[in-house]
Amino acid sequence: MVNKVKIGSDVELQDRLVAINRTTKVTKGGRTFTFAAIVVVGNGEGVIGYGLGKAGEVTTAIAKGVEAAKKNLIKVPVYKGTVPHEVLAKFGGARVLVMPASAGTGVVAGGAMRAVFESAGITDVLAKSKGSSNPHNLVKATIAALSSMRDARTVAANRGVSMSKVFNG
C-alpha cells in the first residue's frame, strides 16, 4: 500500500542532506575518493522521497541524490501537524517507532529521522530509533513507517462505514 505521487514542475520541493559517506579506492597512482550522499526531499505538506547519489565530488553526489529522490515520491498522511497513529517499522537492522504528539511538542527524533519528518511537514512527533543507527536504513525505515500509516478517512472508505463508526466502533 504505497502512495506513489507524480509531480509536475510547479511543485516546490525542499531538499535536505542526511549523510555523506566518503569511500577510498587505493590504486597504483594513489587514492581515489568517491562520495555517496543520501538526500530527502519534501514539499512540507506530506509529500516526501529519498535518494542516494554517488559521484567523485560532493556537490555532484548531492545533485544526483536530489534527482533520485524526486523519482520516488510518496504521500503520507499529516493530521494537525502530527501523524495519525503509532507505528513500528523495520528496514534492514533499523527499527523505528513513530508516535503522534500533542501540539507544541516539536520533532523529538534523531538526525536521520528528523530530516524525513521536517521534509514531510510533520511538526509534532515522538520517534525512537532502535537497532542500527545507519542513516541509510533509518531513512528507509522512517519512510516505510510513514507510508504504512492510514488516516481515518482512508480506513472508513476501505471498510465502507462512516467516520463515526471508525472512532466509536
User: Could you give the CA distance from residue 96 to residue 49 in angstroms, rounded to a whole number?
Assistant: 17
105 vs 164: which has the higher pLDDT? 105
100 residue type, one letter: P
User: Do 104 and 58 belong together in one domain?
Assistant: no
Provide the H-helix boundaries in the chain. 58-71, 111-120, 135-147, 152-159, 163-168
User: Do 143 and 93 belong together in one domain?
Assistant: yes
| Residue 52 belongs to some domain of the structure | yes
Grid cell in block for residue 20: 555523506
- Quick: pLDDT tens for 140-159: 999 999 999 888 777 778 88
pLDDT at 93: 93
The CATH number that applies at residue 134 is 3.30.230.10
User: Do 64 and 114 belong together in one domain?
Assistant: no
Average pLDDT of the residues of the chain = 89
User: Do 63 and 127 belong together in one domain?
Assistant: no
The pLDDT-based confidence of 114 (bands split at 50, 70, 90) is very high
| Residue 7 belongs to some domain of the structure | no
- Quick: pLDDT tens for 39-68: 999 998 889 999 999 999 999 999 999 999
Q: DSSP letter at 109?
A: -
Q: Which of 59, 74, 89 is the last residue of a domain?
A: 74
Question: Could you give the angle at the alpha carbon of 132 between the alpha carbons of 115 and 14, nearest 5°?
Answer: 15
Nearest to 112 by CA among 50, 48, 41, 19: 19
Q: What pTM does this model have?
A: 0.89
Instruction: List the domain range (segments joined by +) for residue 33.
Output: 14-74
Grid cell in block for residue 146: 510513514
Instruction: Please give the average per-residue pLDDT across 17-29, as a whole number.
Output: 94
User: Do 51 and 87 belong together in one domain?
Assistant: no
Looking at the 3D structure of the chain, how many domains does it have? 2
User: Could you give the CA distance from residue 56 to residue 60 in angstroms, rounded to a whole number?
Assistant: 7
The CATH number that applies at residue 39 is 3.30.160.20
User: Do 90 and 129 belong together in one domain?
Assistant: yes
Q: Does residue 105 carry a pLDDT above 80?
A: yes
